Chains A and B, each alone.
Chain A
C-alpha cells in the first residue's frame, strides 16, 4: 500500500489486491485501514519517481504513434491517427500495447477513440481494449459510463451524483440550456461538465502537448586499435571535443557539465566529469580541461571506445569578437575559473558573498564562482563605526588575557607564545548570539579592537560575561587581524 503524508495524517494513494480485499482503497486514510487490519504495510509514495517513469513511458509509447503526452498521475495519451495500420489495425495495436506492458510487469488498460477525452473515459471506465472509431457513435458508446469518466473535480462529481446525474447518459439527457445556466465556469474544464461533454464528442478542441525527447549532445568514437598511451587518448578527446562542438553549435548551446566515458577492452569503463563556470563549446578549452583529469587513468589492455556527453547544456549564442581581435573578458574569466576548479576542486575556488547575519563569521559565505563574477553587485555599506578586520581566522584562537574584572578593558594578552602589551583599545562592541538558531546556552561576545606595543592591530573578544549563568569564567579569543 502506498501512502502520502497529508494535512490530516497519511492518506492512501494506491493499494495492492490483498490490501484492497481487506478494505483499503485509494483516498482513504491510513488510520482507517489500520483499524481494519493492523498488520497492513504502508510504504511512502515516490511521486517524483512516478512522474519520471511516466515521462519515460510516454516517450517509449511513441513507437506506436508520433505524439504522446503523459497524463498525470497514471495515464499516457497517444495520438495514433493514421499509424494503427503499422501494427496491423487498431485492435491488434491495443493488444500489442497491453502485451508489451504486461511483459514489463505493468497492468495496462487501453482504448482507442476519436477524441482524447473519450479514449480516457473508455480506458478508465469502459470495457477492456475498446476500439471506437466512429465519431458519431461516441455519445451512445459513453452513455452508460459513470460521471467520473468525464475527468471532473471530486466535489463536482459529488454534486452531480446528488442531483441524480450518475452516468454520462443522464447528463446528455438533461437539456443543454439548463446545464449551461447551472455551470457557468468557462475557465476550467474540470469544473464544467458541459465543456467536458463537448470535448468528449469533439465539439470543443482539446490540445495535446506532446512530450519530445531531447537527448544530450554527444560524440562517440570506436577505435580500431585499443589505445594504451595517454597522448593518443588526448588526441581522441580533442577529436571528440571538435565533434561535440559542432553538434552544440547546431543546437546553439554550450556545455556546462561534460561526462567523458572511456571503455577498456576488458569491459571496464572509466568516467571523468568536468563542470564549467559558464557555457562553452570551445574544443581546445574542453580538451584542455580533460587533460588535467587523465593522469590517473589505468588504460589496462587499452581503450577501444570513447564518448563525450554534454550532460548539462545551456543556450549560448556567438560572442562578438572585437575589431582588434581580442575576445570578451568574461569568457577569459570563465576559462580561468574552469581550469582552477578542474585542478584544485570546487571547494578551493570560491568567492565571498555577503549574508544577512550580524555574526562576523556568518556575515559572509563562500559561494562557487558563477558567471556573474565581475558584475558589480549592489553595494551595501557597513556602518562606519563597525570596524571589521581585513582577515578573519577560520577558528577563533584562544588567548589568555589580563583584564580588569568583571568587564574592564584588556591590558595584556598571550597569543601563540608571544606576550603582547595592549597599548590602545576600543570596545566593547557587543555581538549577541543568534538566538533563533542557536541553543539558549550560547554566550554573547564582547569584541575589542586592540593595538599592541608594536602597532599590530587585532580583534579579540570575551566569550560571555561573569555571572550570565551560561558557564564559568569567560574565555578570550582572537578572531581577526586588522591592517
Chain B
C-alpha cells in the first residue's frame, strides 16, 4: 500500500514536471515566433512600401501587401545616373578590395602559423599592437594625404587591406588543419616554401579563403566613412554615400525641372527611399542564406583552441 502511494506520488511529481517542461517549451516557441515576426516584418514592410502608393504608406493603409501597385520610386531611382555609377564603383571596390585583402592576409597568416618562422613572437606582437592602439582619425588622414592617396581609387582598397584579426583567423586555421607532416614530406621532395604555399596550402584552404573573402566583401560593400573623408570626387563615390544623400540627408535627387508640385516631389522622394533600401540591400540578403554556412564556419575557425 505504502509502495503504491509512493509510486503514485512520484508519478504525480513527474507529470507536474512534464507540465512545467511543456509550458517551458510553449513559451520558448512563442518567444521565438514573436522574435521572427519582429525581425521579418520591418524588412517585409520596406519591400511592400517600395511598391505602394506613398500616400497610402504615410497614412498607414499599407500593412501586409502592397496597395495601389506603383513602381514610380524604382523608375525615378534607376533614372539617376549617379545610382548606376556608384553601384558599379561599389562592385569594383568590393572585388578588388577583397582580392587585395586575401593576397595580403592569407600569406601572412600562413607564415605566422609556421613554427620554424624565426622571431615569430616579435612578429606576432607587431601584428597585434595595431588591434589595440591606432593613430586615430587625424594622423591617419594626414598620412594618407601625404601619400597622395586622397581622391584616388586606391584609397578605397589598399590602406586598410590588412586585417590583423583575419590574419589570426587564417593562422589558427593553418595551424589546426594543415598537418605538419605535409610540409615535411614536401621538403623531402625538394619543394620550397613559396611553391608549397601556392600548390599545396592554397588549394587546401578554400574554407578559410571563403570566410575571410566574404567578411571582407561585406565590410567593403557596407563601408562609407572612409569614402566620405577621403573621396571628394563624385565619380568615385560608392553606393553607400549616395544612399546617405537619399536616406539621411533627405536630399531630393529629383531636379525641379520636372515641373510637378512640391508635395508630389516629396512623396516621390519618400518612395525612392524605400526603393533605394531594397535595391542596395537585396543582393546581400539574397546571397546570404546560401553563404551562411561559410559565415558560421568562420566563427568556428576563429574560436578553435589548441
A joins B in a complex: no
Q: Which residues of A contact B (CB under 8 A)?
A: none
Q: Which residues of B contact A (CB under 8 A)?
A: none
